[in-house]
């Protein structure tokens, strides 16, 4: 059964079992308990494409294993050694493949519901350290000023070097109210610095909306959860009903680490009339899946600007890439993160599983997202904008004996303009220049659209008048 009740759940989607299972930053749950009818991924058994296991290498492994279990300074039981071996294999494949114990698997599933315990940041591994992909809105990490791109090198007194990603995450998780000291390295800072964070129950509100200056809709998606597609569609429809004169919509995906694949598909589908949204390719028999849009644009073609940055990953990149390929939105900001791979969670026992990279995402035009990301149509770096104070120049309104405004409008003197600029010191362009640029672009598109409409009406009227004049003269010439 479908897990969506937005446009997707109104009878338009028929998802395969694997498609239903693709979730959590491109993760596919292959556990029947956690995803409706989701199958495990069968092993590749085509002997023509796979050589026999390398016996000499296996003998080497068993020799090393035997030396460790007999000669290591501490006694480690066999099950632990084998678990370490599995972790080592997976960690060497890529940053997203991992071994999951019972706790890690539960955490993975909790993320899809939007409620979990911890610090509130999406992380990965880079050069043996934990790298922050993005902090989650309104969480301890976000409030403490943790930024996308930060490297965490120490957790309390423990060095992160040598830890697996799952071990590092376990260290960062803990009871609500407990504290942890993290040591951070940030580009542009002279050296490492410490940040003390208080753990909390992280409840991520996936979709938030508001109006920008009363005529542009703002939709912020912090993370793609199971219900994000439905929540966004409902929020946008409510906004349109309450504000029928909207000039456009800004969809903010900055620092969105991704999430449920089907949620990203539903978000794109809400803005498209038709066409391919995303497809995956891999070696496993059922790793190739295609998602297409169903008829109906909930905004009826309103101009759309999508904001992205280097913290926009996975599902966020699927949305930006699809809307960009279909020329449905202007993508603005900076290059996205570049996570274009699909992970499949494969149970190996009642309490253990592996998260294995099994496929890659491609945009409708065939672009691979992996390690490249989505490049914006309009590059806008995040910056602090400071307005240049006007020089003490007089205006026409300052001149003694000047003529009054012919339309009766309020005059604009130099003192009025200086006072207005002082009032605007805390306006949007100072707080968020990228969002300000998106708002300006949408206003420009609306004005251009109005001009085009007026021009078309003028041309049509002129053509009609010309046709009438021609017909009349032809009638006059008739005997």
Q: What is the CATH number of the domain that holds 199?
A: 2.30.42.10
Among residues 21, 154, 325, 355, the one annotated as catalytic is 325
Residue among 254, 203, 253, 212 nearest 232 (CA)? 253
Specify if 223 maps to a domain.
no
In contact, 413 and 389? CB cutoff 8 Å: no
Spell out the long-range contacts of 79-86 with Cβ–Cβ below 8 A and sequence spacing 24 or more.
85/61, 86/354
| The pLDDT of residue 126 | 85
Specify if 393 maps to a domain.
no
**239: Cβ contacts below 8 Å, ≥ 6 apart:** 209, 211, 217, 246
Crossing angle for the helix pair 55-71 and 78-93, nearest 10 degrees? 130
Specify if 161 maps to a domain.
yes
| DSSP character at residue 186 | -
| The pLDDT of residue 470 | 46
**196: Cβ contacts below 8 Å, ≥ 6 apart:** 144, 179, 180, 181
| The pLDDT of residue 231 | 96
Q: Which two tokens stand for residue 164?
A: 């697996």
In contact, 257 and 143? CB cutoff 8 Å: no
Other beta carbons less than 10 A from residue 423's beta carbon:
8
159 catalytically annotated = no
Alpha helices in 197-310 (DSSP H): 228-242, 261-271
Specify if 145 maps to a domain.
yes
87 catalytically annotated = no
Among residues 7, 131, 247, 339, the one annotated as catalytic is 339
| The pLDDT of residue 49 | 47
**286: Cβ contacts below 8 Å, ≥ 6 apart:** 16, 17, 18, 39, 41
Residue among 148, 185, 186 nearest 311 (CA)? 148
pTM above 0.75, yes or no: no
| The pLDDT of residue 14 | 30
Specify if 137 maps to a domain.
yes
| The pLDDT of residue 51 | 64
**How many helices and strands (H and E) does the chain possess?**
12, 21
β-partners of residue 353 are: 100, 347
d(CA 41, CA 31): 10
Among residues 21, 314, 336, 341, the one annotated as catalytic is 314
Specify if 183 maps to a domain.
yes
d(CA 316, CA 297): 19
Specify if 185 maps to a domain.
yes
Domain, as residue range, for 133: 116-203
| The pLDDT of residue 23 | 39
Number of domains in the chain: 1
Alpha helices in 290-382 (DSSP H): 315-325
In contact, 256 and 280? CB cutoff 8 Å: no
Other beta carbons less than 10 A from residue 249's beta carbon:
24
Specify if 138 maps to a domain.
yes
478 catalytically annotated = no
Q: pLDDT tens per residue, the chain (479 residues)?
A: 223 333 433 333 333 333 333 433 444 433 332 323 233 444 444 444 456 889 999 999 999 999 999 999 999 999 999 999 999 999 999 999 999 987 777 666 666 666 677 898 888 888 889 999 888 888 999 999 999 899 999 999 999 998 888 789 889 988 889 999 999 999 989 999 999 999 998 777 899 999 998 899 999 998 899 899 999 999 999 999 999 999 999 999 998 999 889 999 999 999 999 999 999 999 988 899 999 999 999 999 999 999 999 999 999 999 999 999 999 999 999 999 999 999 888 988 888 899 999 999 999 999 999 999 999 999 999 987 777 766 667 888 888 888 998 888 888 887 777 776 666 545 677 788 999 999 999 999 988 877 666 666 666 776 776 554 544 434 344 34
| The pLDDT of residue 279 | 98
Beta strands in 167-312 (DSSP E): 179-185, 193-198, 200-203, 207-212, 216-221, 248-252, 276-282, 290-292, 304-308
């Amino acid at each position: 059964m479908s897990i969506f009740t937005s446009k997707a759940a109104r009878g338009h989607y028929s998802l395969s079992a694997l498609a239903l299972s693709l979730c959590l930053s491109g993760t596919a749950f292959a556990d029947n308990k956690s995803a409706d009818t989701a199958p495990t991924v069968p092993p590749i058994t085509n002997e023509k494409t796979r050589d026999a296991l390398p016996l000499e290498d296996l003998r080497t492994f068993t020799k090393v294993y035997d030396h460790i279990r007999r000669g290591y300074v501490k006694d480690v039981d066999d099950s632990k050694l084998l678990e370490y071996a599995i972790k080592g294999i997976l960690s060497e494949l890529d940053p997203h493949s991992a071994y999951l114990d019972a706790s890690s698997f539960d955490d993975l599933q909790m993320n899809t519901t939007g409620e979990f315990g911890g610090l509130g940041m999406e992380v990965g591994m880079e050069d043996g350290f934990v790298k922050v992909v993005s902090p989650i809105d309104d969480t301890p990490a976000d409030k403490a000023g943790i930024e996308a791109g930060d490297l965490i090198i120490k957790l309390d007194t423990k060095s992160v070097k040598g830890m697996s990603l799952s071990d590092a995450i376990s260290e960062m998780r803990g009871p609500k109210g407990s504290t942890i000291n993290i040591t951070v390295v940030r580009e542009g800072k002279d050296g490492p610095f410490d940040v003390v964070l208080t753990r909390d129950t992280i409840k991520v509100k996936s979709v938030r909306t508001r109006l920008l200056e009363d005529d542009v809709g703002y939709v912020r998606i912090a993370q793609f959860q199971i219900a994000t597609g439905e929540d966004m569609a409902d929020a946008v429809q409510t906004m349109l009903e309450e504000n029928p004169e909207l000039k456009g919509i800004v969809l903010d995906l900055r620092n969105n680490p991704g999430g449920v694949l089907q949620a990203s598909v539903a978000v794109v589908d809400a803005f498209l009339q038709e066409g391919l949204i995303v497809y995956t390719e891999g070696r496993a028999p059922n790793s190739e899946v295609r998602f297409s849009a169903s008829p109906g644009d909930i905004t009826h073609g309103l101009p759309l600007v999508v904001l992205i940055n280097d913290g926009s990953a996975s599902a966020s990149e699927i949305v930006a890439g699809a809307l960009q390929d279909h020329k449905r939105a202007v993508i603005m900001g900076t290059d996205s993160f570049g996570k274009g791979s699909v992970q499949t969670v494969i149970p190996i026992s009642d309490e253990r599983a592996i998260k294995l990279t099994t496929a890659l995402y491609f945009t409708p035009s065939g672009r691979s997202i992996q390690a490249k990301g989505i490049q914006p149509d309009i590059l806008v770096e995040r910056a602090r904008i400071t307005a240049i104070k006007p020089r003490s120049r007089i205006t026409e309104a300052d001149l003694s004996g000047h003529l009054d405004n012919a339309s009766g409008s309020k005059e604009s003197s130099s003192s009025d303009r200086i006072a207005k600029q002082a009032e605007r010191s805390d306006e949007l362009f100072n707080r968020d220049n990228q969002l300000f640029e998106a708002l300006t672009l949408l206003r420009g598109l609306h004005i251009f659209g109005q001009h085009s409409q007026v021009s078309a009406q003028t041309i049509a009227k002129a053509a009609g008048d010309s046709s009438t004049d021609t017909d009349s003269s032809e009638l006059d010439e008739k005997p």
